[in-house]
Amino acid sequence: MRRASLAMVAWLLAGAASAATPVEKDLSTGWQFRLVTERGADSVRDPAAQASPATRCRESCKRFADWQPATVPGAVQTDLLALGRIGDPFWRDNEADLQWIGLSDWDYRLDFDVDAAMLKRGHVELVFDGLDTFADVEVNGRMLLSADNMFRRWRVPVRDALHKGTNTLVVHLHSPITRLLPWLMKQPYSLPGEFDSSFGDEPKGKQTSNYVRKANYQYGWDWGPRYVTLGIWQPVRLESWDATRLADFHVAQKHVDADSAQLDAQFDLRADRSGPVILKVDWAAPDGTRGHDERSVALSRGENHVSLPVSIAHPQRWWPVGYGEPNLYRFHAEVAADGDTIASADRDTGLRTVELRRDKDTWGRGFAFVVNGVPIFAKGANLIPFDSFPSRVTTARMEAILRSAKDANMNMLRMWGGGTYQDDAFYAAADRMGLMIWQDFMFGGAITPYDDAFRENVRIEATEQVTRLRDHPSIVLWSGNNEVQTGWDDWPDRQDFRKFVNADEVRRIDDGMRELFGTTLRKVVQDLSPQVPYWASSPSTDYDGPANVENDGDFHYWKVWSGSEPIARYLDVTPRFQSEYGLQSFPVMATIKAFASPEDMQPESKVMRAHQKFANGDGNQRLLLYIRQEYGEPKDFPSFVYLSQVMQAEGIELAAEHLRSARPRNMGTLYWQLNDVWPGASWASVDYFNRWKALQFHAKRFYAPVDVVPLRRDGKTEVFAVSDRTTDFAATLRTRVYDMGGKLLRETSQPVHSAALASTKAVTWDDAALLKGADPRRTVAAFDLIEAGKPVAHHLLYFGAARTLALPQPGMSTSLRKDGGAVVLTVKAKRLARAVWIDTGDLDVRLADNAFDLLPGESRDIRIDGVADVDALRRVLKVRSLVDALKETAP
């Protein structure tokens, strides 16, 4: 949560007649750090942890006890890496040997100068935008702060601790495991958490992460490594002023419709003295229209919440991508006294209404997002942190991932609760792109403590985060947590825990979670951002019944993959909103080579298991299970990688298109997951380096505004025309049946009236009518939705799993040509080509299309951007299809 340049600005009110210049001193350069050997990882009291050499600081680690240069914002791990003192944390199985870092205590130190002018100011405060996580802060030997929450801003007065000249700031960082584990081992029970450590630093079932406000994923997840970071992970500075500080400026949206926007420009001012001021607001619309409002108010000594009504006629509203422009207004606020501006701030925001519509109907109770009165079918994915080490994520990297989502026709991302709240730049980019953000509070599934101190710590965290982010129109939902309620109700380890702990304690734990997620966080959102809905947990019914049910609320579906059920089971599940479901795959070979050596290239190698976090490395066998069920046996490791992506893409496509076809019964599909924190096997559709997997290319098609969806079950195929358009349109459904060798067996056409914002069933076929005696193993059906003579959607249908089909050798040919600043690749197939994949090796170029099927005789032109050397591209270019990857093909 890097500090926004538009808010939380410190200003000066020196008196009634004049204003002085505010002073802000950046303290992000010149830091040093060192290992604290006397209270390092060897102080862990658990014998199981001591038994593992990878989890404690051995004698050789003491060479890190000397002061070394550090980077702020940053983390110990990234500082050690920058100095060359450790190997790449993502390389091969280095993870195990680097666990000692998060089990040790570290000090950070900065010498900085202060002049006499600053010391004369009425207030001087030290501000940390983020400390990770247990940190004691001292200035010139005086202890001023003990921090215990990664997600809070820490602000302390320091003027009395400073002196003219050189001052010393020291931050003592304590390992959260080393600090909490001795305490936890003495408790009568441990709250159920998420994933036990694989490295022996915590006994199984004794997870300290539940008890500290720190990013859960850093303790290890089933898609990422265990790197328990410590550091000053956000900017740090001194702020000084004399009498008044503008703490926040917020544009509250009281009422917005097509005719007018009734706004309330709200100022939070902290004043040392009372007196009159004038509030001024200037605004600029996207089309250049401008307005001005002002009023006089009287400030009192202390905290002041004052406001100025603003009215805008015929506002240019913010719309999600695909429904209109993501219009943003610029608001400039000033506070003036006797003609002098004493404070100012700027804010960009979009004017819109958001509703979570939960009407009762024939299927139960709905779950639909409505923006500006228009029901939006949510299409997207879950977003996890961008890196194991958050401080090294750049704005450009975040924007590239968001751009990948938008380019794949997504309109919503769920910011999952086991990571971190993102920087302002992330939400600003989502605002500009029209991407809706479902924002979890940072709870990843672990059961939470019920004590008042923990809840109050979270309340302050939530207050700061909602205040910081509430002007971003992209945020359309605040959700209390990820899977806390459904886990507590249904997961086996939680059920065992209930049997172990006495009933009164179980009730206290349950009441504590209901108070935290059902009341405390809800009140924060309702008080500070009432125009955005709140949802207690995902999945849930907002504490209005059981969690994770199909007929009410949102739904997480994991019987496919986690439960090993076949992919076809996706067709049997139709919830009101499917906010999680997924299939794994490996990234492309270029990404695998970034973390593995040639000798590691097999699914069960030590390194490949280390980068497969599902089921402690056994997830590669789960991948092979699904590959074998659908396609057959991979002939080598690159084929295994390719087939994992084909399986993932085609499986998620089946689920997503089924859900889209079920509109309005279902109103959202967010698959798990969009991105990765490191290179490895996972559910992501875009890998750590923002390279698109096959799933991302498929998503671009199955999330298109108009789609044609053939769903085959029990020998019968229903074909749907799915439209996100806000108006009806007339189209023609063309059905063609081909022999895979190239013969067109039959063709039919029929008119379709595609309704706005709807799924329209166009036709139902049984296999006999479609095939008319043709061999289903050698036949493919093609469906095209044609508008004004042009195809707007295209889909192929097969009559069985790929391993049962007699797929031919496609006889593909390719050619390259230049087209302006890009290169165009033409791929042509003589016979059916299933799951065509274009591989550009280590060249990081962007293909406009990939991972597609070609009908017999069909060709496709693919634009390739970012090509610096066509000859280099030609040398590495490889094109393959499904038959190239299997040991055997069907006869």
Task: Assess whether 720 and 659 both reside in one domain.
Answer: no
Contact at 8 Å (CB) between 716 and 781?
Answer: no
Residue pLDDT, tens place only, 306-353:
999 999 999 999 999 999 999 999 999 999 988 888 889 999 999 999
Neighbours of 848 (CB within 10 A): 15
Task: Assess whether 626 and 718 both reside in one domain.
Answer: no
List, in sequence order, the alpha helices (H) in 125-253.
Answer: 176-185
Residue pLDDT, tens place only, 746-783:
999 999 999 999 999 999 999 999 999 999 999 999 99
Share of the chain above pLDDT 70, in %: 95
Name the β-bridge partners of 770.
none
The reported pTM is 0.95
Interior/surface letters 185-205, b for 16+ CB within 10 angstroms, e for the rest: eeeeebbbbbbebbbbbbbee
Cα–Cα distance measured from residue 334 to residue 813, given in angstroms and rounded to the nearest whole number: 65
Q: Final residue of a domain: which of 660, 692, 724?
A: 692
Task: Assess whether 393 and 456 both reside in one domain.
Answer: yes
* Peptide bond preceding 473 in cis form (omega within 30 of 0): no
pLDDT at 868: 85
Q: How confident is the model at residue 59 (pLDDT cuts 50, 70, 90)?
A: low
In a domain, 16, yes or no: no
The CATH number of the domain holding residue 474 is: 3.20.20.80
Task: Assess whether 193 and 294 both reside in one domain.
Answer: no
pLDDT at 20 exceeding the cut of 60: no
In a domain, 805, yes or no: no
Residue 609 corresponds to which tokens in the numbers above?
């298991």
pLDDT at 51: 38
Over residues 524-532, mean pLDDT: 98
Residue pLDDT, tens place only, 261-317:
999 999 999 999 999 999 999 999 999 999 999 999 999 999 999 999 999 999 999
In a domain, 79, yes or no: yes
Residue pLDDT, tens place only, 637-664:
999 999 999 999 999 999 999 999 999 9
Cα–Cα distance measured from residue 131 to residue 869, given in angstroms and rounded to the nearest whole number: 45
Task: Assess whether 785 and 871 both reside in one domain.
Answer: no
Task: Assess whether 681 and 780 both reside in one domain.
Answer: no
Residue pLDDT, tens place only, 380-393:
999 999 999 999 99
Residue pLDDT, tens place only, 107-141:
999 999 999 999 999 999 999 999 999 999 999 99
Residue pLDDT, tens place only, 197-225:
999 999 999 999 999 999 999 999 999 99
Cα–Cα distance measured from residue 478 to residue 174, given in angstroms and rounded to the nearest whole number: 31
Task: Assess whether 265 and 174 both reside in one domain.
Answer: no
Residue 567 corresponds to which tokens in the numbers above?
């992919």
Residue 843 corresponds to which tokens in the numbers above?
């060249």
Higher pLDDT, 289 or 57: 289
In a domain, 358, yes or no: no
Domain carrying residue 398: 380-692
In a domain, 357, yes or no: no
In a domain, 267, yes or no: yes
- Torsion, Cα of 541, 546, 547, 553 (10° steps): -30
pLDDT at 569: 98
Interior/surface letters 492-514, b for 16+ CB within 10 angstroms, e for the rest: eebeebbeeeeeeeeeebbebbe
Domain count, the chain: 5
In a domain, 8, yes or no: no
Task: Assess whether 793 and 825 both reside in one domain.
Answer: no
Residue pLDDT, tens place only, 88-115:
999 999 999 999 999 999 999 999 999 9
Task: Assess whether 534 and 449 both reside in one domain.
Answer: yes
The pair phi, psi for residue 767, each rounded to 5°, is -60, -40
Neighbours of 62 (CB within 10 A): 12
Name the β-bridge partners of 796.
782
pLDDT at 40: 44
**DSSP helix/strand/coil, 100:** helix
pLDDT at 889: 54
Task: Assess whether 74 and 111 both reside in one domain.
Answer: yes
Sheet strand arrangement including 165-174: 68-69, 32-36, 105-114, 165-174, 134-139, 142-148
pLDDT at 6 exceeding the cut of 60: no
Give Cβ neighbours of residue 69 (< 8 Å, ≥ 6 apart): 31, 32, 79, 83
Pairing of strands 412-415, 436-440: parallel
pLDDT at 54: 38
Task: Assess whether 421 and 493 both reside in one domain.
Answer: yes
pLDDT at 607 exceeding the cut of 50: yes
pLDDT at 521 exceeding the cut of 90: yes
**DSSP helix/strand/coil, 16:** coil
Q: Residue with structure tokens 């040093």?
A: 32
In a domain, 363, yes or no: no
Share of the chain above pLDDT 90, in %: 91
The CATH number of the domain holding residue 230 is: 2.60.120.260
pLDDT at 340: 86
Average pLDDT of every residue of the chain: 94
Residue pLDDT, tens place only, 670-710:
999 999 999 999 999 999 999 999 999 999 999 999 999 99
Task: Assess whether 873 and 764 both reside in one domain.
Answer: no
Cα–Cα distance measured from residue 485 to residue 444, given in angstroms and rounded to the nearest whole number: 11
Residue pLDDT, tens place only, 850-874:
999 999 999 999 999 999 899 999 9
pLDDT at 822: 86
Residue 673 corresponds to which tokens in the numbers above?
């997951």
Question: Which amino acid is present at 404?
Answer: S
Residue pLDDT, tens place only, 432-463:
999 999 999 999 999 999 999 999 999 999 99
The CATH number of the domain holding residue 877 is: 2.60.40.10
Q: Final residue of a domain: which of 659, 692, 725?
A: 692
pLDDT at 3: 41
Q: Final residue of a domain: which of 800, 830, 849?
A: 800
pLDDT at 871: 93
pLDDT at 473: 98
